[in-house]
Every structure is written in structure tokens, then in C-alpha cells.
Amino acid sequence: MEGVAGCHAPPRITEAEFHEPARLVDLMPAAAADDDRERHGQIDGTFHRAVFKASRNRLAQHSWATPRVATTTFVTRPIGGRSLGVLPERHMLAGGRATP
């Protein structure tokens, strides 16, 4: 559902919503550098809520609102061996702020 929201958000995002996801991504590296998993998780969750809201896709929004789905990244990321520092870059690529 994250991919659906990511595809639907860009053409539907309002001017008022536009800068919030980028602002949140910009906060992630400091939390990662401090290894502050709680703060990083809060920022990441807020980022996703903003993208899902901007998607205007009710199914995607409902999916993200389900606690089990919202915690998947936070729980599976350490198991997969990914550092917190990887997530901001992935979010910027998905949001079109960087090129692969």
C-alpha cells in the first residue's frame, strides 16, 4: 500500500501539504545518527501518514491506519540488518527528490 500511496500522492498533494514530507525526511538523519529509534520511528510514522493522507486513497489510508501495518517497517528493518540512515534516502528516492 505504501507504493500505491506514493504513486497517488504527487498529483493530489495540496500546496499546504507539499513541504511536510520533505521536512520530515530531513529530520531522519539526525535521529539515525543518534541511534534514537523512538524519535526516528515517530518521524517515519508521521512522514507516512502525510503521504497516505496526500494520496487521497481511502484504501491506502485505512491500510496504514491499521497498527499492524504501520509497525512493519519499524519491526522488520532491524531484522533485515538495515540501518536507520537508509530510510531517509529511500524516502527521498520515492518522493522524487533524488535520482537513483
What does the pLDDT profile of the chain (100 residues) look like in tens digits? 778 888 888 899 998 898 999 899 999 999 989 988 889 888 988 998 899 999 999 988 888 777 665 566 565 555 556 677 777 776 665 555 543 3
Return the pLDDT at 97: 53
Establish if 29 belongs to a structural domain: yes
* 5 contacts: CB under 8 Å, gap ≥ 6: 48, 51, 52, 54, 55, 57, 60, 61, 64
Dig out the grid coordinates for 29 from the structure. 538523519
Establish if 57 belongs to a structural domain: yes
- Count of the separate structural domains present in the chain: 1
Establish if 72 belongs to a structural domain: yes
User: What is the extent of the structural domain holding 41?
Assistant: 2-94
